[in-house]
Amino acid sequence: MRYFIGNWKMFGIPKSLSILNRINKYYSKDKNRNKYKVIITPPYTLIESYSRHFRNKRISIGSQNCYQKEQFSSNTAAISPYMLKSVGAKYTLVGHSDNRGEGDSDSMLKDKVRYAIKNNLKVVFCIGENKKEKKNKKTLIVLKRQLRNVLEKKFNKNNIIVAYEPIWSIGTGKIPTANELKKTTIHIKKVLNGIFKKTSPAVLYGGSVDGSNIGMFKEIREIDGFLIGGASKTSKKFIDIIKNYYR
């Protein structure tokens, strides 16, 4: 199974639904549709209405984050996994570098993963090195630490998808070389095999993926799909990625 996940970040209002309707139309008719899943993570404000709209359709709706407590608490503006599930979310991102940058620690991320799974949300756990770590050749060490500090076998690999998003690649148009990416993906799967005992969750790539560079990524068979930011905000760009992947 391949994954094409669109992370809208701080984008979208109710009428932006038309973008997803066009993507869903393509997805529903695509002859390759059973080979992949499309998941979109709109902002919190749209999760309930979009989930209801797509309840019996192909696209799944997820959240971009969740709070590290399970149900209700007195944390202003926080949204728990229980609340997300109650409005129809099926997935949640955890550990996006935007949120790590705003203070999400490994122990907070572990609680997010734990409570998300407890509430039947599948977790897309994001990892990635920054520019300095890459320059100092620390990428593999950083990724191993990010995975080992949060993921545990008891979470069950079927509840987890890992998204490798090098921070220096997000929104910059810069992407790793095919060799680098193959090596990194194999390393991530090796670390995950260690955690989950000889079996690995799906591993996605994210960072400046678009219809013109997807051809390079598709050659790396170890990559199970993509987490797409900018190019998920228009139906044409998002559909082009899928079309060119299966070309």
Question: What is the closest distance, in whole angstroms, from the C-beta atom of residue 209 to ligand 13P in the complex?
Answer: 5
Q: Is 96 a catalytic residue?
A: yes
Contact 210, 231 (CB under 8 A): yes
**187 tagged catalytic:** no
The verdict on 228 binding ligand 13P (CB under 6 A) reads yes
**Sites for ligand 13P among residues 84-103 (CB under 6 A):** 96
Buried b (16+ CB within 10 A) or exposed e, 155-178: bebebbbbbbbbbbbbeeeebbee
**CB nearer to ligand 13P: pick between 151 and 231:** 231
Does 42 sit near ligand 13P (CB under 6 A)? no
Q: Which of 165, 180, 219, 222 is catalytic?
A: 165
Structure tokens at 116: 């998300």
What is d(CA 212, CA 163) in angstroms, rounded to the nearest whole number? 20
Ranges within 158-187 binding ligand 13P (CB under 6 A): 165, 170-171
Q: Which stretch binds ligand 13P (CB under 6 A): 22-30, 184-192, 205-213, 216-224?
A: 205-213
The window from 43-51, 103-111, 200-208, 216-224 that contacts ligand 13P (CB under 6 A) reads 200-208
96 Cβ partners below 8 Å, 6+ apart? Answer: 7, 64, 65, 126, 165
CB of 29 to ligand 13P, least distance (A): 25
Residue count, binding to ligand 13P (CB under 6 A): 14
Beta bridge partners of 93: 124
Return the residue of 81, 95, 176, 230 that touches ligand 13P, per CB under 6 A.
Answer: 230
Region of 20-28, 101-109, 203-211, 216-224 interacting with ligand 13P (CB under 6 A): 203-211
Q: Contact between 60 and ligand 13P (CB under 6 A)?
A: no
What single-letter DSSP state applies at residue 121?
A: P
Nearest alpha carbon to residue 38 among 205, 227, 215: 227
For ligand 13P, which residue of 229, 238, 239, 242 counts as binding (CB under 6 A)? 229
Please list, in sequence order, all residues whose beta carbon lies within 8 angstroms of the beta carbon of residue 93, skipping any fewer than 6 positions away: 7, 41, 62, 63, 64, 65, 123, 124, 126, 163, 227
If DSSP codes are grouped into helix, strand and coil, which group holds residue 9? coil
Of the candidates 103, 200, 212, 117, the one whose C-alpha atom is nearest the C-alpha of residue 155 is: 117
Q: Which residues are catalytic?
A: 96, 165
Q: Tell me which residues touch ligand 13P (CB under 6 A).
A: 7, 96, 165, 170-171, 206-209, 227-231
